[in-house]
Amino acid sequence: MDILGLLQQNQWAGPYIKAVLILIGAFLVISIIGRYLKKLLIASTLPADAQLILRSIVVYFLWFSVLMYITRELNLQEILVPLIGASFLVGAAVALAVKDVLSDAVSGVFIILDKHFNIGDEIETLNHRGEIVSVTLRKTRIRTGENTIVVMPNGKIDSAGWTLHEKRPPNK
């Protein structure tokens, strides 16, 4: 017996079988899109952290769309509204819990994309002066005159500001 005959015999099971088939298809399609997006982003100039965040956002959005479609197919709209409300509450709670990390990440994206300073530049910020060693999505590292590495969150650097100094000539 084929799938179509099975669906006609069991009217109640039809939407559920369709939902399972949609989930399997969505898994395959979203996996392919994720791999393609990863290759596309690796070729870009975005930092690895930003690439991961962007890829995750796209994948989560696709899964959310698939789940909304399945909810509609199974006539579960009555559950949908409270579910969306609850997800917004959970999202708000998580956002509040990780607000410093999100602040550092967003500030890091702006620092990296705006290119106000580069590795090797000398800056002064948060009562530290030194040469930029590395800039990641969340943190910036500078080497002070005492050869100490200071790690600072990007959110604090962005809110406090910085002074970019001319490079010192090497001591001879």
Tell me which of 18-22, 25-29, 107-111, 152-156 is least confident: 107-111
Between 12 and 62, name the one with better pLDDT.
Answer: 62
Structure confidence at residue 2 (pLDDT): 63
Residue 29 has pLDDT above 70, yes or no: yes
Q: Give me the sign of the Cα torsion angle 43, 46, 48, 51.
A: negative
Residue 37 has pLDDT above 70, yes or no: yes
CB 129 within 8 A of CB 165: yes
Domains of the chain by residue range:
3-97, 116-165
User: What would the pLDDT profile of 141-172 be if each residue is shown by its tens digit?
Assistant: 999 989 999 999 988 888 888 888 876 665 65
CATH number of the domain located at residue range(s) 116-165 in this protein: 2.30.30.60
Measure the CA–CA gap between 42 and 51, rounded to whole angstroms.
8
- Kindly indicate the confidence band of residue 23, based on its pLDDT and cuts at 50, 70 and 90: very high
Which pLDDT score is estimated for 170?
59
Residue scoring higher pLDDT (49 or 72): 72
Q: Which amino acid is at 66?
A: V
pTM exceeds cut of 0.85: no
